[in-house]
Amino acid sequence: MKTPNFLEGAAVALAASVAAAVLFGVLAPVFGGDAVLRALIALLALVYVIYLLRRSRERVGRVSVIAGWCLAALVLAVWHPPLLLYLVLHVGMLWLVRALYHYASVLSALADLGLNGVALAAAVWASTHTASLFITTWCFFLLQALFVAIPRDLRDRRAAQHATTDPTDRFQQAHRAAQAALRKLSSVR
C-alpha cells in the first residue's frame, strides 16, 4: 500500500474544511450551532480515523478501533463536556489511533502528540481570530497532514544517524560492500 504524503493530507484538509463549512452553514440554523458543531467534530474525526486506518500498513484490529471510536464518541456525546474539552478528547483519540497504527516507537508517537497539540492550538487561534469554521478546520487538518514527516520509528533513525557518522563504522560498511561486490564478480565468471 502506498504510504500517505503531504499533498494527500492537504487534499484531505481541503475536503474536510469544505464539508465542515457547508454542513455547518446548512444544519446550524435548523439544529443550533453547538449541537451541529459537536456532531461535525465527531463526524470529521471518524472520517479521519477511517482515512488513517485505510492508509496504515497494519491490518489487525480495524473493526475494533472503529467500534471503540464510536463507543467513545457516544460516551462523549452523552457526557456533554464543554466544547473545548470535547474537542481535545477527540484529538486525543485521533492521536491514539495514529500512534497505534502509524508508529513503531514511543518517540515517534510523542512527536505526533506534539504535532496534535500544535494543530489544536492553531485551530483555536484561527477560530478566535477569524471566526471561520473553514479556516479553523483547514488549519487543523493541514497541520495534521505533517504527520507524514515523522518517521515510523524515530529511535531507529537516530541510531542509524549515529552509526553512519562514525568513520570506522563507515569504513567497515564500505569494506563489506566491496567484499560483496568482489564475491559477486568472481561468481559471474
| Cα gap 24→27, rounded to integer Å | 5
Give 103-128 as a DSSP string: -SSHHHHHHHHHHHHHHHHHHHHHHH
pLDDT digit string, tens, across residues 40-70: 999 999 999 999 999 998 889 999 999 999 9
Residue among 112, 106, 102, 7 nearest 49 (CA): 102
Task: Supply the pTM of this predicted model.
Answer: 0.79
Residue spans per domain, the chain: 6-152, 153-189
